[in-house]
Structure 1
């Protein structure tokens, strides 16, 4: 697929219906996740701040949801939390060093590109830097997810990534003279460790 020629499918930008959100919430809880449903991005921001420890390392995965909501700045710039990213300032252009440092934090905060109604989480990445802590590297994980990311099934989740999330990311990066691609895709079906993973579902759209 030539990302340059793809116009994002804006049908994936619309918040899911309340019934869809309810089904996804129930399924996520059945799959071992702690789930919070909030009405607004502002509520999600306050909730995440309250959930995070002050004395343990926290890694913010690359995420437009975190950036646009202000959650990334709360963690990385406020000095309130033990931010992994705040501690990487002296690593320069050593991308591998930054990736390794973020692979096993105490807590990782990020988002996903889709949540299916049967409670599966799907996230794509170019480098894969956020996938290791998401899958098992972090002791705890918090995902903040806008309601537009709730989809019926895995097939639709993968289509959402390729026809909406990737083109949107490509357009964003074009402003910096860069482009994007899908390097790796993680599908998380359930969580084995009690209370390890938390999903914050926001009833309004945020991120892509």
Structure 2
């Protein structure tokens, strides 16, 4: 049962998220990004589709956020070739080939592990295909993030990535890593380690870089 207190809290949260999201968007625009704030995942999908030209080949990194939004399915339904390793055998040549092809896609979609209030985008990868594509290759990169990824500064962002996002994803993927057992980073040397390559984007690079900030909690 939804109580008056629940409704009051939700109303306040919506405003709080919107204000934080709009401030972040303003900062991102100052750094050269095409940035927009939307309140819901449905609106986020509309913004994604609006930024992918007809006939474009689309690459994507592993992203729970994109899955929650239904972005890849919607693009396939619209007739786009979507290059994503999700669902393939992790050790297969097919998966490796897909990752390589995604580096030359027309558009690359990715989630975000953390973003600072100053607009620094932080992503940590195991294989590195996702962060590589955001640095060079695709003509357009679209970052999609829930408001839960917003942090105060870079120190907080790095702590979030190492001590929440990485352990939570290791748990989700059923990996045999120390962080999956304890919930925090051990800077381990285990075979299943998923935090090998760290990229911090200080501002938009060459090409078109878009950021869609969603006023919902999405991803990990």
Q: TM-score, normalised by structure 1?
A: 0.82
The total of aligned residue pairs comes to: 190
Q: How far 1:83 moved relative to its partner?
A: 1.7
1:46-195 mapped onto 2 (5 Å cutoff): 46-75=46-75, 77-78=76-77, 80-85=79-84, 93-94=92-93, 95-174=95-174, 180-193=193-206
Residues 37 and 17 (structure 1), Cα distance of their counterparts in 2 relative to 1, 3 Å cut: closer
Of residues 170, 191, 215, the one that matches 1:203 is 215
State the SS of the aligned residue for 1:115.
Answer: strand
Residues 68 and 175 (structure 1), Cα distance of their counterparts in 2 relative to 1, 3 Å cut: farther
Write the distance in 2 (CA, Å) between the matches of 1:47 and 1:189: 23
User: With CA pairs under 8 Å and 6+ residues apart, which has the higher RCO, 1 or 2?
Assistant: 1
Alpha-carbon RMSD: 2.7
Contact persistence 1:145–1:201 (CA under 8 A): yes
Q: How far 1:174 moved relative to its partner?
A: 1.3
CA-to-aligned-CA distance 1:10-61 (integer Å, 9 cap, x gap): xxxx997444323321110010000111000111012212221121211021
CA-to-aligned-CA distance 1:96-142 (integer Å, 9 cap, x gap): 32222111211101111111111110011110111121112111011
Q: How far 1:79 moved relative to its partner?
A: 5.3
Write the distance in 2 (CA, Å) between the matches of 1:102 and 1:83: 8
Contact persistence 2:62–2:84 (CA under 8 A): no
Aligned residue number for residue 8 of structure 1? none
Contact persistence 1:169–1:180 (CA under 8 A): no
Pair member with larger Rg: 2
5+ residue gaps, structure 1: 1-13
Q: TM-score, normalised by structure 2?
A: 0.77
State the SS of the aligned residue for 2:35.
Answer: strand
Contact persistence 1:104–1:132 (CA under 8 A): no
- Runs (4 or more) in structure 1 with deviation over 6 Å come to none
